[in-house]
Amino acid sequence: MPQITVVNHEGEETSVDAADGRTLMEVIRDSGFDELLALCGGCCSCATCHVHIDAAYSDKLPPMSEDENDLLDSSEHRNELSRLSCQIPVTGELEGCKVTIAQED
Ligand code: FES
């Protein structure tokens, strides 16, 4: 089971176990980070699961869909590391990855 590091709005880092077969959103939300609202429950329609993912892992992530891209465009905090965490399945390749919860819009 990969371990990832979650960075909250205060910049505090916490290591969490990420079970294969879940999404990053589920892992972060279920680890008690209430900053990640994930209001739509993972159907790619709210953008409240916005995170910034370590650049070193960019090529290990699935390609971004048009819907995800459009939703991220609505965020003032979008940058080149932005993804919607509900669209990222956990795999062993994410071992050691650092995921920062984006500031709320
Ligand atoms: S939880 Fe709504 S877009 Fe990810």
Q: Which domains are delineated in the chain?
A: 3-101 (3.10.20.30)
pLDDT (mean) for 28-57: 97
Nearest CA to ligand 1 atom 3: 44
Per-residue pLDDT at 51: 98
Mean pLDDT of the chain: 97
- For ligand 1, whether the C-beta of 16 sits within 6 Å is no
Q: What is the pLDDT of residues 57-87, one digit of tens each?
A: 999 999 999 999 999 999 999 999 999 999 9
Per-residue pLDDT at 105: 87
Report the percent of the chain where pLDDT is more than 90: 98
pLDDT (mean) for 6-34: 97
- For ligand 1, whether the C-beta of 48 sits within 6 Å is yes
pLDDT (mean) for 85-97: 97
The rounded distance, in Å, linking the Cα atoms of 102 and 8 is 8
Q: Residue 13 burial by CB count (10 A; 0-12/13-18/19+): exposed, middle or buried?
A: exposed
